[in-house]
Amino acid sequence: MPGFFIVSNNESSGTYECCLLILIELFDRDGSVHWAQGLREDLQLWRTKGVHERHRGKYGGMGSFNDCYLGQSVSSGITKGEQPRAEVLRRCVQVWSYGYCMRPYERASASELLGRYANEFEAVHGWLCAECRLLNASTAAIARTIAARVVPTVAAEAIARDEVECLVDRVLAADLPNAATLREQASRALRAIGIQVHESITWEKTCGQCGGVKIESRYYELHECDNGTLRAAIRS
C-alpha cells in the first residue's frame, strides 16, 4: 500500500532493521504481498524475540529473494519510469540486509555500507543494430546507470542517520542530488561519440534509425572529467 511505513519503537534502529523497513515499503508499493508479509514477519521476530537468523533463509536458490524484480506485474504500484530507481534501491538494500542480519545491533556508517555494495550498472547497456550498424542507447538505460551512481549513496546516508521513513518516496520521485543533470550530461556524452539516444521508459530494444530488432549488446562507459562533466567511451 503506497505510503505504508512501520514505525520503530526503538530510539535508534540498527542497520538490519532500517533495511527491513525500506524493503517492506518497496514490496508493498510493488504489490508483492508474499515478500512484504515475509519481511514483516522477520521484523516482528526481531523486535519481539530478537530472532534475526530467519531472514537469511530468503536468499539463495531458485525463486529466492535474489530473483525478485520490481515493477514487472500489472498490479505493481511502481511505474516504468520509477522502476530503474526502485530496482537499484532494492538491490543495494538487499545486499545490506543480508550482511547485517547476522549482526543486527550494529549501526553501519554510509562509507561502510557503500563499501559492501558493488555497482552492477556502472556502464550504460546499449546495442548495435545488426541491420544498419547504428549504435543505440535508450534513456531508460541511461536512467538506470545514473540511478546506480546516485541511489546507493542516498540510501546509505539515510540508513546511517536512521532517517529512512521518506527514503522510498524520495527515490521513486527522483528527488536525488544532481540526477537530472547527470542524465543530461550522459546523453550529451553518448551523442558526442556517435551513439543515438532515443526516448524510452521500457527495455524494448529497437533501432532508432531503421527500426531493426536484430541487435548486439554494447556497453558504454561514463567517466567523470576534471570539470565535473561526463565523457563516454565504448567498452572494448
Q: How many domains does the chain have?
A: 1
Structural domain contains residue 10: no
CB 155 within 8 A of CB 93: yes
pLDDT of the residue at 81: 86
Is there a domain that residue 195 lies in?
A: yes
More confident residue, 57 or 93: 93
- 7 located within any domain: no
The answer to whether residue 138 sits within a structural domain is yes
pTM, 2 dp: 0.85
Residue numbers of the domain that contains 100: 15-234
Contacting residues for 67 by C-beta, under 8 A, at least 6 apart: none
CA distance linking residue 57 with residue 77, whole number of Å = 27
Give pLDDT, residue 203: 56
Residue 4 lies in a domain: no
Q: Which residues of 39-63 are buried (b: 16+ CB within 10 A; e: fewer)?
A: beebbeebbeeeebeebeebeeeee
Name the phi and psi angles at 173, rounded to 5. -85, 0
- Residue 2, in any domain of the structure: no
Instruction: Let me know if residue 220 belongs to a domain.
Output: yes
Residue 87: pLDDT over 70: yes
Q: Which of 8-17, 61-70, 109-118, 157-166 has the lowest mean pLDDT?
A: 8-17
Per-residue pLDDT tens over the stretch 129-148: 888 998 999 888 998 899 99
Answer whether residue 9 is part of any domain.
Answer: no
- Considering the chain, what is the average pLDDT of its residues? 87
Contact present, 2 and 76 (Cβ < 8 Å) = no
Confidence of residue 5 (pLDDT cuts 50, 70, 90): very low
pLDDT digits (tens, 9 = 90+) for 24-55: 999 999 998 989 999 999 999 999 998 888 89
List of E strands, the chain: 124-129, 135-138, 196-198, 215-224, 230-234
Instruction: For residue 186, list its beta bridge partners.
Output: none
